[in-house]
Amino acid sequence: MLERNIVMTDDSTHYFDDIKAGKWARIDPAFYGAMEFCQKWLNGEKSFTLKTSGSTGPPKDITVSREQMILSARATKSFLKLRKGCRMICCLNTDMIAGKMMLVRAMEWEALIYLLKPSATLVLPFNNVWVDFTALVPLQLQASLENKASRALLNQIGTIIIGGAPTSPELREKASKLPGKIYQTFGMTETVSHIAMADLKAEGPLIYKVLPRVNLKVDAAKKLIIEAPMSGYKRIKTQDVVDLIDNKTFIWKGRADFVINSGGVKLYPDELEAAVDPHWRKYFPGKRFFITSASDPKLGESVLLVCERVSSKDPFIQPFLHTLYENIHPYWMPKRLLNVDTILLTPSGKIDKRATLKPYV
């Protein structure tokens, strides 16, 4: 029998051999999908259907092989220098690739994994437990840093990876004070989770370094092209615009399909959001925003700031805009504001710009 377990939040323990045989009676229904996936994996299933996040287009199903997922798990273990039999926490949605890959890593590394229901804050039903590895989305990291018990748990984790969405400059600064290692990941469902990571504690712009055996190129428009074992060495042409340092490292700029062409100047919403974020949080803490394009009769497109429950009549909007004007490039200034009731999220926790804007288009 394998020595490591999957441990549930209700304090039930299931050995891998029991899961393989389908012996997981009386579990919380929230964990059934994860256990069913693990059973298929442990019984040698050769391929799996995964759903894309839907953040850059309609969600779609893709099929990946067992070998691709094994290669991804091995590359992550090698890059992060994690040991076989380590302790892990999975608090991600296991219906999505990020959560499924946490399960695969646990099984391939013969790890002890604490499987938690996805929630805003990270909480274990045990005290004083050292954890080697976990993965979070930025919203979970932010909420956990602001919660006393969750912050204490973060201090007991050796390596944290952050994915699903970019990390804001303010959140990066807070995360850099954690004692363990912490990385921002870059990847997609088609690459079977991440293919590169950037050290959030490093000074200056985030520089992504690829996992072992991954190679990069760019096209004439500086859009990233990926060749990696975890994608079956298929050449994946992305819509991600990067500054390629060499074929192993890059700086991410933003998505080409979200670019704002304002009077011939190309503006990347992700880059603008990172510049706006610290000032937004100062005036509107707890409320979300994002940047997209709006039609403009003179410029073709201009910068639109989409605000969650913040109207042009808000008493803080003018001081906020004045602060922006003093701190960001003039081309980056929003020309219009759109107040929405709620900024919607995808199942993986990313801001769903298309769904949010649909009632207003």
CATH number reported for the structural domain that contains residue 348 in this entry: 3.30.300.30
Q: Percent of the chain, pLDDT > 70?
A: 95
Q: What is the pLDDT of residue 61?
A: 85
Indicate if 291 and 185 belong to the same structural domain. Answer: no
Q: At residue 52, does pLDDT exceed 90?
A: no
Indicate if 103 and 226 belong to the same structural domain. Answer: yes
Each residue of 271-300: b (16+ CB within 10 Å) or e? bbbbebbebbbebbeeebbbbbbbebeebe
Stretch 183-208: mean pLDDT, rounded? 95
Band of residue 360 on the pLDDT scale cut at 50, 70, 90: confident
Q: At residue 1, does pLDDT exceed 60?
A: no
Indicate if 87 and 122 belong to the same structural domain. Answer: yes
Asked which of 193, 224, 256 is the last residue of a domain, the reply is: 256
Indicate if 252 and 268 belong to the same structural domain. Answer: no
Indicate if 251 and 312 belong to the same structural domain. Answer: no
Asked which of 192, 226, 256 is the last residue of a domain, the reply is: 256
CATH number reported for the structural domain that contains residue 53 in this entry: 3.40.50.12780
Is beta strand 336-340 parallel, antiparallel or unpaired with respect to 300-308? parallel
Task: DSSP letter for 256, please.
Answer: G
Stretch 11-31: mean pLDDT, rounded? 85
Tokens at 160, concatenated: 């944290």
Indicate if 243 and 311 belong to the same structural domain. Answer: no
Neighbour-count burial of 235, counting CB atoms closer than 10 A to its CB (0-12 exposed, 13-18 middle, 19+ buried): exposed
What are phi and psi for residue 33, nearest 5 degrees? -60, -40
Q: How many domains does the chain have?
A: 2
C-alpha torsion sign, points 18, 22, 25, 28 = positive
Q: At residue 226, does pLDDT exceed 80?
A: yes
Indicate if 109 and 64 belong to the same structural domain. Answer: yes
Q: What is the pLDDT of residue 10?
A: 66
Asked which of 256, 274, 298 is the last residue of a domain, the reply is: 256
For 75-131, write each residue's pLDDT tens digit.
999 999 999 999 999 999 999 899 999 999 999 999 999 999 999 899 887 778 899
Stretch 185-190: mean pLDDT, rounded? 93
49 is in which domain, residue-wise? Answer: 5-256
Indicate if 201 and 52 belong to the same structural domain. Answer: yes
Can you give the pTM of this predicted structure? 0.83
Indicate if 157 and 29 belong to the same structural domain. Answer: yes
Indicate if 240 and 294 belong to the same structural domain. Answer: no
What are phi and psi for residue 69, nearest 5 degrees? -70, -35
